[in-house]
A and B are shown apart, each in its own frame.
Chain A
Amino acid sequence: MTEVTQRPRTAESAAGVVAGFFERYGAHDVEGMTDLCSMNADISCVPVELWGKQRVLRGDGKVRTVGKPLWAGLIDSFPDLSVTVHTIAGNDEGEVVAQVDIEGTQQRPWGLITPAGRHYREPHLFVFQVGTDLLIDSITAYWNDASISQQLGHHEVD
């Protein structure tokens, strides 16, 4: 269910929405994360690309069809997944940038990586666009997938 708020959008309130998003991420509350996003919110997980013989699948799409299963899958594979927010900064246009570390211990397969009980911790940069209704309209995320693979003991460049 999408929350509607009457607070005006300012740099502080936009940053507050993003802080709430990461609180819910750390609590493994995928529904709650999604509730902070507009119905048609976009997501781009820049490092996600699966190369097939004739096409490349990328981590671009909608929060509800790409983001939500990705977050749920990550939490399922890393049941102790935790989120450490280092910085969150916004502006009055609703642009918010967050530096975040995500870490967890693998218990189930993640992509092509079989579980070996290894732990990873990886810095992420998230760029959000928060709308005037204080719902997240877009999320773009950057991280280094090679580092995660190596920390989990997977050394093939897939």
Chain B
Amino acid sequence: MTTPAQAVHAFLDALARRDVDAAMAVTDSLITVTIHPFVMKDQGTDVLRSVLADLVRAFPDLMISVSRVITTGDVVTALFKVEGTQAAGYAGAINTEKHLDIDQAWRFVITDGLITEVAAYWCQAQLYRRLAVKRYDQIAIA
């Protein structure tokens, strides 16, 4: 039986390899996805797949450095740094080939070895600052 921590490690390891399919393999088909910086709350694997695919496409040299994994029952919280060099538009920001490094926290709920909920927290101000965005109401203008 896969433990909650093992499921999350499998997810993060796959994301670190930029293998979206492998990351999605440990998620439930009805997963609830909350990406706070995108003001996104939705359900289903397509939603999360799209979030991960956008990230991997925009930062093809993506690196995930996990600093801490906290298990509290069926809930696992992972703290990690996302790094990469922008190679395509991301979150509305055009590609200026800037380097990104953002500390993030993702809270997972695991049921029967599969991730059934994920909530992601990071600061979009830090992200836009690194991608040379000047104004929130003109994100595509660098």
Same complex origin of A and B: yes
Give A residues with C-beta under 8 Å from B. Answer: 11, 46-47, 49, 51, 87, 89-91, 95-97, 99, 123-125, 127, 140, 142-147, 149-150, 155-158
* The residue from A47, A89, A155, A157 contacting B73, defined by CB atoms under 8 A apart: A89
CA distance in complex: A43, B135 (Å): 29
Q: A149 contacts B125, CB within 8 Å?
A: yes
Known contacts A125-B107, A127-B77, A142-B104; decide if A47 and B136 are in contact (CB<8 Å).
no
Interface centre among B37, B105, B133 (most CB of A within 10 A): B105
> Does B94 sit within 8 A of A, measured CB to CB?
no
Contacts of B119 in A (CB 8 A): 99, 125
Which chain A residue has the least Cβ–Cβ distance from B72?
A89
B residues apposed to A, CB below 8 Å: 36-37, 39, 68, 70-73, 75, 77, 79, 103-105, 107, 119, 121-129, 133-137
The minimal Cβ–Cβ distance linking B136 to chain A, given in whole angstroms, is 5
A11 to B73, CA, bound (A): 10
Chain B residue, CB-CB nearest to A90: B72
Known pairs A46-B123, A99-B107, A156-B134; A144 contacts B77 (CB<8 A)? no
